[in-house]
Amino acid sequence: MKRVVSISLGSAQRDYQITVTVLGQHVEVRRIGTNGDVAQAMALVREFDGKVDAIGLGGLTPVFRIGRARYPHQEAIHIAAQARRTPVVDGGVVKATLERWAVAQATRQIPSLLRYKRVLITSGVERYQLAAAISQYEPELRFADPVIHAGIPFLPPPRSLEQLELYAATTLPILALLPYRFLHPVALGQEGFDSRAADLFRWADVIAGDFAFIRRFAPHDLTRKAIITDDPSPAEIEDLRRRGVTTLVTMTPPLSEERPFIAADAIEAVITAITESPRQPGDAEVIDFIAAAGWGPTVQDLNPRPKPRFAFVIHPLRTELIANHHLFRWTRYLPKRLVELVAAEFPPLYLSRIRGIRSKATGEEVEGILLTLGATPREMMRRPPSFTYRRLIKAARMAERMGAQIMGLGAFTSVVGDAGITVAQKVNIGITSGNSLTVAATLEAAKQAVLLMKGGRPEHVRAVVIGATGSIGAVCARLLAQAVQDVVLVAPRAERLLALKKQIEAETPGARVVAATYADAYIGDADLIITTTSALTGKVINIDKLKPGAVVCDVARPPDVKEEDARRRPDVLVIESGEIVLPGEPDFGFDIDMPPGTAYACLSETALLAMEGKFEDYTLGRNIEIERVKEVYRLWKKHGLELARLRSFGVYVTDEMIAEKRRLAEERRRQLGLPPERVIVGSGE
């Protein structure tokens, strides 16, 4: 049987002696703590030299590796040098390999574990590789090194790897000459709680690092926090559960029943003993060993995590919809204009809880809160933006009190003023207009509709975007130009049209881009018309001038194309903007005027961000980022959202309906003396 010993400057109360079996070999692992006694640590190294297969140094790092710099610590080197025959390891190679692998695997199991979270690294100089692995997930970082090492709570902690490297360059040359207890103060007074870093621990969503530091410096209340660490004992894990920790990620696999987890130096000593290496193993050897042993992290849910929760704000698109709320059914007996004026003054109201939405990627259910304002589009548009801002800010604060972490703006609440920016600045939860997914779903629905109406892929498609300079219209136009190379931009303000035209031509060289303030001259030649206006009155599209077999994708709410107008052109397909079937068994708890399980893309984006754990301001303002549209499309596919069946004025589009419209379109083309459509049959691109 192989034998290894871990000699630690830490508490002797954490000592153990166990036997582990790895790759078919039995290894006796013993830990001996010295309570900070350096002389005892050196004596123990000398005592076990030549009597065991490997010696690990717990809580000791002879050479700190920070970025490309190396900082030798004289006392730690002197302790390691006491061994002449037995290889001495400090766990550094395991920290650079197994722990990085553990972070990658843990985030695959829990995608929201680190992304955009507040993460505290207890000591970055001792676990630089762990910090580097975590930093890839765009967290808000803090390093407790200055507080723990120097005991100076007002010294600003490093907030990035670059700042940590600067901290190391300015302090480690000095600390390396001092006794090791200045770097690893848990060696003394191990059992008492040290409050010097309590504020940082309270700030963090995730605490990562050596468990000895967490044990010493973490406050008692760790409710809803996640911990990423190395070697907690079963009793210590139970203590974390009682203190409210939600998720515990131990970066090593369980190796025994009585003491499942051991520290990095002990792991490295086991690897050294089994491989019979005469020295500290290299990273290639350790990586091969990890792969052969099938090692990875251990992820435990110590307390049930609260379900991700989002909120969504709607409002009545028509006055008669106010009576849909059970408290206001009596309003159907009052004059509509009076009801509309009074309802606009209402504060935000709670409608229902949204349940049953479940990600196909994680299997996790997200919950929603449906809120409403009382104002119709007409009332919002005739009042100053501040009128709506005030009510949305109240709604966001109400949602936050109810546990929501992000709120979506529905219908005209995402149009008024600066499209959510002011609201986001005034509240503490994430805000999104939902327009990124609205764009993605609109273009997906438009593509499907054109393919259906043409019976294949047309050799050439001309697209007209009405309302092209709006937030949704602009990014639709930019993406359409990349897809079809022929786009007409229609909007009332010439200066904005010109700016958008120049932007598209720069982004998509070779695309044909026409800008106009009126649509009539161009819609007769358009295969696809996307209308995204906020018009409340007047005709946006002269439907009589549309090309036979054209597709109109109406994104506007209220819709730009009226059903009675569309009846005059039965050969034209008018579809609603892309709607989404949410995964799971969604129950909105209120009639949102959609088929079961189906939601508008703006609501779906809010739910999707909750599934991904992206509780941040996402789609705001008039300029939607194309990268956000592409990202939300990837998340759509990841979490199992689906484009709903195409609908036209509330009726599902059927094969029979398409066949009849194509027949009528061909007949109209013959009457007008137009050539038949040329398509590539069988292509779904």
Q: What is the pLDDT of residues 383-413, one digit of tens each?
A: 999 999 999 999 999 998 888 999 999 888 8
Task: Specify burial of residue 390 (Cβ count, 10 A radius: 0-12, 13-18, 19+).
Answer: middle
- Other beta carbons within 10 angstroms of residue 671's beta carbon come to 9
pLDDT band at residue 9 using 50, 70 and 90 as cut-offs: confident
The rounded mean pLDDT for the chain is 90
DSSP string, 182-232: GT-GGGSSTTS--GGGHHHHHH-SEEES-HHHHHHH--S--TT-EEEES--
Tokens of 407: 């709120």
Task: Specify burial of residue 163 (Cβ count, 10 A radius: 0-12, 13-18, 19+).
Answer: middle
What pLDDT is attached to residue 470? 86
CB-based contact 198:122 (threshold 8 Å): no
| Residue limits of CATH 3.40.50 in the chain | 92-259+294-301
Nearest partner of 432 among 245, 554, 605, 197, judged by Cα: 605
Domain 92-259+294-301 has CATH 1.10.1390: no
What pLDDT is attached to residue 189? 43
CB-based contact 247:227 (threshold 8 Å): yes
Helix (H, G, I), strand (E, B) or coil at 515: strand
What pLDDT is attached to residue 152? 66
Nearest partner of 262 among 229, 284, 293, 240, judged by Cα: 229
Which residues have C-beta within 8 Å of that of residue 24, sequence separation ≥ 6?
Answer: none
The model's pLDDT over 46-97, given as tens digits with 9 standing for 90+, comes to 999 999 999 999 988 999 999 999 999 999 999 999 999 999 999 999 999 9
Nearest partner of 346 among 402, 294, 388, judged by Cα: 388
Q: Is the pLDDT of residue 112 over 80?
A: no
- Please tell me the distance from the alpha carbon of residue 578 to that of residue 397, in angstroms, as a whole number: 30
pLDDT band at residue 559 using 50, 70 and 90 as cut-offs: confident
Tokens of 468: 């092209």
What pLDDT is attached to residue 398? 92
Q: Is the pLDDT of residue 357 over 60?
A: yes
Show the beta-strand stretches assigned E in 569-664. 573-576, 579-581, 584-587, 598-600, 642-643, 647-648, 651-652
> Which residue type does 550 have?
A
Show the beta-strand stretches assigned E in 241-399. 247-250, 298-301, 309-314, 349-358, 365-372
For the ranges 197-201, 352-356, 529-533, the maximum mean pLDDT occurs at: 352-356
CB-based contact 74:182 (threshold 8 Å): no
* Residue scoring higher pLDDT (279 or 593): 279
The model's pLDDT over 217-268, given as tens digits with 9 standing for 90+, comes to 999 999 889 999 999 999 999 999 999 999 999 999 999 989 999 999 999 9
Q: Is the pLDDT of residue 181 over 60?
A: yes
What pLDDT is attached to residue 683? 45
525 — phi, psi (to 5°)?
-115, 10
Q: Can you give the pTM of this predicted structure?
A: 0.57
- Please tell me the distance from the alpha carbon of residue 641 to that of residue 573, in angstroms, as a whole number: 24
- Please tell me the distance from the alpha carbon of residue 200 to that of residue 219, in angstroms, as a whole number: 10
- Please tell me the distance from the alpha carbon of residue 20 to that of residue 26, in angstroms, as a whole number: 6
pLDDT band at residue 495 using 50, 70 and 90 as cut-offs: very high
pLDDT band at residue 192 using 50, 70 and 90 as cut-offs: low
The model's pLDDT over 452-482, given as tens digits with 9 standing for 90+, comes to 998 877 888 999 999 999 888 999 999 999 9
What pLDDT is attached to residue 186? 64
